[in-house]
Structures are given as C-alpha cells and as structure tokens.
Amino acid sequence: MTNPHHSATRPEWTEWPYPFWVAHRGAGKLAPENTMAAFRHGAHFGYRMFECDAKLSRDGVLFLMHDTELARTTNGEGIAAEQDWGTLAQLDAGSWHSRRWAGEPLPTLRNLLHWCIRNHYAINIEIKPSPGAESETGRAVAELVAQIWPDTLPPPLLSSFKPQALAAARQAVPAQTRALLMDEWSDGSLALAGELGCAALVCNQLLWTPERVQQCHGRLLRALSYTVNEAEHAQRLKDLGTDGIITDRIDLFSPIGTTHAPL
C-alpha cells in the first residue's frame, strides 16, 4: 500500500491535535446528515472538525450513512449494506431534510477524506458497521485512511461503539488514532479502551463525572462527549476539563478558541 503524501519527516502528535468542537454528521440538523452539503455547511459555520458515520456497501465501498436502513435519510428502501455502491450513488439523500438540499447524493468516505485533506480539516470517522460486518468495516476504514491520509495532518480519529470494529482496525493499521464510544459506563470501560489501543473515550455526555474524567486522564485517555446541544451542558463539560464536544448546534456554539492542556 503506497501513500504519496507520506513524508520522511512525520510529525509526532504527542498532544491532542484536534479542535475542541466537532460538528456532528457534518452540520448537525441544519443540513442532511452525512452529505457533502452538510460538511460544507459545517465549515461555513467555522467548524474545522467533523464527525461522520461510515459503513460498507455490498460491493465493499465505504460510504456515509448513520442508519442500517435507507428509509429515513434517502429515497431508497431496505438495508443499505445489501446494495452495491452503483445503486446507492443514485439515491437522493437530501430531499428528506428539505427542498434546499433536494438531490444531494450519498458521499463515499474516500470523497469526504479527500475534501478534508484539501481543506486541512480534521475528521472523526465513526465506524458504523451494518450488523455482522464489524470486523470487515473496521479493517476497511483503517486501510482506506492508511492509503490516502497524509501524515502531515492530524490523523483521522477512528471511533466506534463496537469493540470488534476497533480491534480489526487496530490489527490492520496499529498506529492510527482510535476512540471507544460509550453510551453506558461500566467499570471495564477504561480497561477496554486501553486494550484496544485507544487514545480517547467518547461518551454520552451524561456519563461524565469529575471522578471518571480524572480516571480517564490518569490513563492518558482523552475524554470527549456526544451529542451536546445545550449551553449549560457544554459549560459543565468544559468545567470538568474534558477534551472535546460533538454537537449538532453549530449555529449556537462558536468552534473557535478552546485549547487543550497536556495530560
């Protein structure tokens, strides 16, 4: 596998290289999620890091979609992973949202990454496997990133609720930056993140307490939150000393000006 962007002088990302604010699915709810229109819209609001959801088509193309099924966010029906990319690429992924975005297509992950590279944007790729495709999807994301992402930019943050997907990503390309997503806290969460070689935990914001943030940082893991849409919640997470917020409310939160302390 060759990547023309890899340089001899690879920077060491010893500190957390990402913006504090991350636009969820591109532009939250202001544009059709996980479309290029949404990422452009998020960038227009000043955001420089985006979260997206990536899964595999039947013929092995990584594309962006949150749900397992097509119905909510496209004019298609059935299971997304049962369609080839050639079919998925014809779908309208914008009309469900509003007239303004009618005809907006589904993007491939590759296209989104190229757009990020061109514009020096950071990206959080949530590995969102269709059921049963956890390892395959994790591996495919890791390999695509290794193939095209330049080592002169902060690396994509690969996250997943599925440990199996993260394990496969790690096995394929050990040196990438990974994060474990969690909707419920358990005593084993920090250890699991460590076993998966993760650099961060990305939690449902309600899970964070001062003790958990401290434990997380104590293990040199960054503490991030999703999906934070209220100013008072964001302030609580800042006061706790957490490291990043994924939000829908790109129209409410200015993405400028929050820096990271070293752990």
By annotation, the residues acting in catalysis are 24, 66
CB of 140: closest distance to ligand G3P in angstroms?
Answer: 18
Build a one-symbol-per-residue string for 33-62: x at contacts with Mg ion by CB under 5 A, - elsewhere: --------------------x---------
DSSP H helices in 24-174: 36-44, 85-88, 109-119, 134-148, 163-172
When asked if residue 51 is in the footprint of ligand G3P (CB under 6 A), the reply is: yes
Q: Provide the 3-class DSSP secondary structure of residue 99.
A: helix
Judged by phi (left if over 0) then psi (alpha if -120 to 50, else beta), residue 77 lies in beta
User: Among 138, 246, 247, 249, which residue sits at the site for ligand G3P (rule: CB under 6 A)?
Assistant: 246
Q: How many residues bind Mg ion (CB under 5 A)?
A: 2
When asked if residue 126 is in the footprint of ligand G3P (CB under 6 A), the reply is: yes
DSSP H helices in the chain: 36-44, 85-88, 109-119, 134-148, 163-172, 189-195, 210-218, 231-239
The listed partner (Mg ion, ligand G3P, none) that binds 164, CB under 5 to 8 Å by sort, is none
When asked if residue 126 is in the footprint of Mg ion (CB under 5 A), the reply is: yes
The DSSP string of 62-90 is EEE-SSSBSTTTSS--SBGGGS-HHHHTT
- Interatomic CA distance for residues 210 and 239, integer angstroms: 9
CB of 126: closest distance to Mg ion in angstroms?
Answer: 4
Which residue number, 201 or 202, has a Cβ lying nearer to ligand G3P? 202
Q: Are 61 and 132 in contact (CB under 8 A)?
A: no
- Interatomic CA distance for residues 62 and 206, integer angstroms: 31
The listed partner (Mg ion, ligand G3P, none) that binds 246, CB under 5 to 8 Å by sort, is ligand G3P
The listed partner (Mg ion, ligand G3P, none) that binds 162, CB under 5 to 8 Å by sort, is none
CA distances from 205 to 183, 198, 200 (A): 9, 18, 14
The listed partner (Mg ion, ligand G3P, none) that binds 181, CB under 5 to 8 Å by sort, is ligand G3P
When asked if residue 159 is in the footprint of ligand G3P (CB under 6 A), the reply is: yes
Build a one-symbol-per-residue string for 80-99: x at contacts with ligand G3P by CB under 6 A, - elsewhere: --------------------
User: Among 53, 104, 134, 243, which residue sits at the site for ligand G3P (rule: CB under 6 A)?
Assistant: 53
Q: Are 244 and 225 in contact (CB under 8 A)?
A: yes
Contacts with ligand G3P by CB under 6 A lie at 24, 51, 53, 66, 126, 159, 181, 202, 226-227, 246
